[in-house]
Amino acid sequence: MIKHLVTVALFAIGGAGVGLVGFLGANPMAFTHSIGKLPPLVVPALVPTATTVRAEVESPTFEVAEVRITRPRHVAPKERVLPARLEPCSEWGDVGAVAADRVAAIGARRIRHLCKGIDGQR
């Protein structure tokens, strides 16, 4: 019974939402109110507010104190990490037959054992 009540309530809310969207589509200014008549816009008269004054400059150049940029004398060299060896580190091994019938096994299934990692596990 509660499931039916929840379902009906959700359908009612959805229907009300659809109705609200339709109402606002027909009346876009429905939930607004007018602010009345606006006061007239007053534009101030255009009067000069500042005058241009030309200053006398002695010279257009200036001096900056000397700046020396140096690097440290002892820079640690970057370490190059080379692989321990270049040959493959994994090996092939047999695990069992590819297929078996009533008399004997047929073929051999081979898998590759992965290289050992740093922690010694495969």
94 close to 113: Cβ distance less than 8 angstroms: no
- Split into its structural domains, the chain has a count of 2
Can you tell me the mean pLDDT for 2-23? 96
Average pLDDT over every residue of 78-97: 72
In this prediction, residue 51 has a pLDDT band, given cuts at 50, 70 and 90, of low
pLDDT of residue 21: 95
User: Is position 45 within any domain?
Assistant: no
- Does residue 62 sit within a domain? no
Tell me how far apart the alpha carbons of residues 47 and 45 are, in angstroms, rounded to a whole number.
6
Helix and strand numbers, DSSP H then E, in the chain = 1, 4
Q: What percent of the chain has pLDDT over 70?
A: 77
Domain of 100, in residue numbers: 88-122
Q: What is the pLDDT of residue 122?
A: 46
Locate all alpha helices (DSSP H) within the chain, ordered by sequence. Answer: 2-26
For all residues of the chain together, what is the average pLDDT?
79
Nearest-10 Cα torsion for 86, 88, 89, 91? -160
The amino acid at 74? H
Position 13 scores a pLDDT of 97
Q: Within a domain: residue 110?
A: yes
Output the CA torsion 88→94→100→102 (10° steps): 160
Q: What are φ and ψ of residue 86, in 5° steps?
A: -100, -15
Mean pLDDT of 33-49: 74
